[in-house]
């Protein structure tokens, strides 16, 4: 499985996981993953990947 931490988040009003338009940047995304379990799961994985990368760098 490829580890891809380069999720395209260039557009803050679009969900990077399903491409849906968000009601507003930031807070709209929180509401969005609240209502979309699949996106929430993807977001959790994405965040874990980022956290893992940082932990690796910082522990070295």
DSSP 57: H
Position 22 contacts Zn ion (CB under 5 A): no
Q: CA-CA distances (angstroms) from residue 5 to 12, 35, 45, 46, 54?
A: 17, 23, 10, 7, 11
Q: Give 18 or 55: the residue with its C-beta nearer to Zn ion.
A: 18
Smallest separation (angstroms) from Zn ion to the CB of 58: 30
Rounded Cα distance, 8 and 38, in Å: 17
Smallest separation (angstroms) from Zn ion to the CB of 48: 17
Position 43 contacts Zn ion (CB under 5 A): no
Residue of 14, 22, 39, 43 interacting with Zn ion (CB under 5 A): 39
């Amino acid at each position: 499985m490829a580890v891809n931490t380069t999720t395209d988040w260039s557009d803050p009003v679009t969900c990077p996981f399903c491409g849906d338009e968000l009601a507003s940047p930031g807070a709209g995304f929180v509401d969005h993953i609240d209502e979309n379990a699949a996106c929430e799961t993807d977001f959790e994985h994405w965040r874990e990947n980022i956290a893992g990368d940082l932990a690796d760098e910082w522990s070295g």
